[in-house]
Amino acid sequence: MRARDRILELRELLRRANRAYYVDAELIMADTEFDGLLAELAALEAEHPEMDDPDSPTRRVGGEPVEGFETRAHAAPMLSIDNTYDADEVREWYGRVCRGLGIGGGTKHEDGGLFVEGAVGASPPPLYTDPKVDGVAIELVYENGRLTVGSTRGDGVTGEDVTANVLTIASIPKFIEGNDVPALLEVRGEVYMAKDAFDALNRKIEAEGKERYANPRNFTAGSLKQKDPRVTAERPLSILCYGIGEVTWGDDAPASWSEAKARLERWGFPCAGPDVFALLDDEPAVAEFVAGLQERRDDLVFEIDGAVVKVDQFDLQRRLGERSRSPRWARAYKFPPREGRTVIEDIEISVGRMGALTPVAVLRPVGIGGVTVTHASLHNRLEVERLDARVGDTVMVARRGDVIPKVVKVLKELRPEGAEPLVWPET
Ligand code: IVH
C-alpha cells in the first residue's frame, strides 16, 4: 500500500477508536494496538510532510464533543500524555528531559548513559509519580472561589459543559475559601466510580434482572453525560485531582505541582494520598515505585491502568514545553494491558447442580498480560444476549485481578456472515 493511502487508513482507524473511546465510552482496540498504530502514523507523517493535517489523530486528543451539551473552550488545552511501557522507555524519556534542560540527568548510572558532558550545577529534576486513574477527565473552573463550570476534555480544545452533573458529585468542592484563593482557578482531575460501589451496583442491577454495566469507566462517562442531573446525583462518583489549568496566582505562586497540590488539598480537593504518590529522585526509583503500584493495583479503590510520571517543577515544565498532543514533561507509564482482541471459536454451556446454565467462550488463544487466555466467562444468558455474542465473533477480552477473563465487547462490524445467535438447551 502506498504511504499516502496507509496514512489515510491509519487516520480513519484511529479516529474510529477515539470516537468509540471518548464519545461512546467503548473500547474497540487494545491500548497497545492504538499506540502502535499512532506511532506508525507519526513516523509516516514525519516522512511525508506534504500529508500534514492539523486534524490528524497525531495532533488531536480524544473525540469530538457530544451533541446535546453546550461546548466550552478550555483556556489552556487539555492534553494527552505519551505512553511508555517499561523502565527502559522511562529512562530514555528522563534522559531526553535532562538533556533538554542541559543538566546531567541520571548520572547515578554506572554506565553513564544519561550523563551530559559539561553540564554543571543543576541536578536531575525530581519526578512526581501518581496513579493513572482510569476514569473521565474533567476540568473544574472556579471564579472567585465558586465552582462555575465543569467540562469534559472533548477534543482537548473544546469540551462539553457538564456543570449541572458535576455539581452533584459530593467530593468536588462547590466553594473554596481562604485569603489565598485565586480569582481564577482551573483544577483538573479524573472522575471515577469506586470499584466496590460499581460491583455493588451491578449486583443490585442483576438481582433486578437487568443488564450489568460493562466497567466503571464507561459507567462514569455515561453518568457525566446524563441529560437529567438527578440521575447523575444517584451515582456514587468521586474525583482525584491531578493538575491545574489557568490560574491567577498572586505573588506567592507555587513553584511546583507538589506545592500547588498542597494548596488544593487545603482547599478541599481530593488528590493522590501518601500511599499512592511519591516525589522521586531518579527513574530507577520511579520504576520501583510503579512496580509497587502495579502489585497493589487490585487493592486500590479506583481502577488504574498505570502511573503518570511528571517533572514536578513548573519552571522546568515550561522550559520543556509541549508538543501538539502531549507535554514533554510527563509520561504515562502503562501497565501491561489486561485486555486483548481475539475470536470466539465455540461457546460451551455447562449445567450447574441447581440447573443454572453457565456459558463459557472458547477462544482463539491470545496473550493478555503475560498469560495465554483460551476461555472467557460469558456470565449467564442475559449477558450473552446483552453482548449478542456468537461463535465466529471477534471480541475484546479483559483479565482483571484474580477474576476469570471475561468477554467485554463484541466487535459486530467484524462478524462473519452466517454467524448465528446461540441456541440454548431446553431446561
Ligand atoms: S497528569 C498532560 N495525572 O490520563 C496532562 N493525568 O492519557 C497531564 N490521567 O489527560 C495530566 N490519571 O485525563 C495526570 N494522575 C494523573 C492522571 C492523569 C489519569 C488522565 C488524564 C490525561 C490522560 C492521558
> Amino acid letter at 213?
Y
Cα distance from N-terminal residue to C-terminal residue, the chain: 53
| Strand ranges, E, within 126-219 | 127-133, 136-143, 146-152, 158-160, 184-193
Burial group, residue 380, by CB count within 10 angstroms (0-12, 13-18, 19+): middle
| Protein residue with its CA nearest to atom 3 in ligand 1 | 242
* Cell numbers for 187: 483544577
Q: How far is the CA of 81 from the centre of ligand 1 (A)?
A: 7
Q: Measured between alpha carbons, how far is residue 401 from residues 210, 299, 360, 405 in Å?
A: 25, 9, 19, 9
Longest dimension (CA), the chain: 79
One digit per residue, the tens of pLDDT, for the chain of length 427 reads 788 999 999 999 988 888 777 666 667 788 778 888 888 998 898 888 888 887 788 877 665 555 578 999 999 999 999 999 889 999 999 999 998 888 864 444 433 344 444 444 578 899 999 999 999 999 999 999 999 999 999 999 999 999 999 999 999 999 999 889 999 999 999 999 999 999 998 888 878 877 778 788 989 999 999 888 888 888 899 999 999 999 999 999 999 999 999 999 999 999 999 999 999 999 899 999 999 999 999 899 999 999 999 999 999 999 999 988 899 999 999 998 788 999 999 999 988 888 888 899 999 999 887 789 999 999 888 889 989 999 999 999 988 766 689 998 899 999 999 999 999 887 6
| Protein residue with its CA nearest to atom 9 in ligand 1 | 132
Q: Distance between CA atoms of 179 and 276, rounded to whole angstroms?
A: 30
Q: How far is the CA of 345 from the centre of ligand 1 (A)?
A: 37
Ligand 1 contacts (CB < 6 A) are: 79-81, 130-133, 137, 190, 242-243, 308, 327, 330, 332
Buried residues in 91-129 as b, exposed as e (16+ CB within 10 A): bbbbbebbbbbebbbbbeeeeeebbbeebeeeebbbbbb
Kind and range of the H or E run holding 399: none
Q: Distance between CA atoms of 312 and 314, rounded to whole angstroms?
A: 6
| Protein residue with its CA nearest to atom 13 in ligand 1 | 137
275 CB-near residues (< 8 Å, 6+ apart):
none
| Protein residue with its CA nearest to atom 21 in ligand 1 | 137
Query: Distance of alpha carbon 212 from its chain centroid, rounded?
Result: 22
**Closest ligand 1 atom number to CA of residue 61:** 10
Q: How far is the CA of 80 from the centre of ligand 1 (A)?
A: 7
| Protein residue with its CA nearest to atom 22 in ligand 1 | 80
Question: Which of 62, 125, 132 is CA-nearest to residue 96?
Answer: 125
**Are the C-beta atoms of residues 152 and 190 closer than 8 Å to each other?**
no
| Protein residue with its CA nearest to atom 14 in ligand 1 | 242
Q: How many CB atoms lie within 10 A of CB 376?
A: 25
Please identify every residue annotated as catalytic: 132
Q: How far is the CA of 61 from the centre of ligand 1 (A)?
A: 12
Q: With the C-alpha atoms ordered 55, 56, 59, 63, is the resulting torsion angle positive or negative?
A: positive
Q: How far is the CA of 364 from the centre of ligand 1 (A)?
A: 34
State the pTM of this model.
0.76
Q: How far is the CA of 306 from the centre of ligand 1 (A)?
A: 10
Cell 483460551 belongs to residue = 374
Q: Measured between alpha carbons, how far is residue 116 from residues 30, 282, 316 in Å?
A: 37, 15, 17
**Angle subtended at Cα 216 by Cα 364 and Cα 25, rounded to the nearest 5 degrees:** 75
Radius of gyration of the chain (CA): 23
249 CB-near residues (< 8 Å, 6+ apart):
182
Q: Are strands 83-84 and 330-334 parallel, antiparallel or unpaired?
A: parallel
Instruction: Catalogue the long-range contacts made by 227-230 (C-beta closer than 8 Å, 24 or more residues apart).
Output: 227/68, 229/164, 229/165, 229/167, 229/168
The phi, psi pair for 197, rounded to 5°, reads -65, -40
Q: Choose one of 133, 191, 271, 309 to mutate for the ligand 1 pocket test, by most ligand atoms within 8 angstroms of C-beta.
A: 133
**Closest ligand 1 atom number to CA of residue 134:** 19
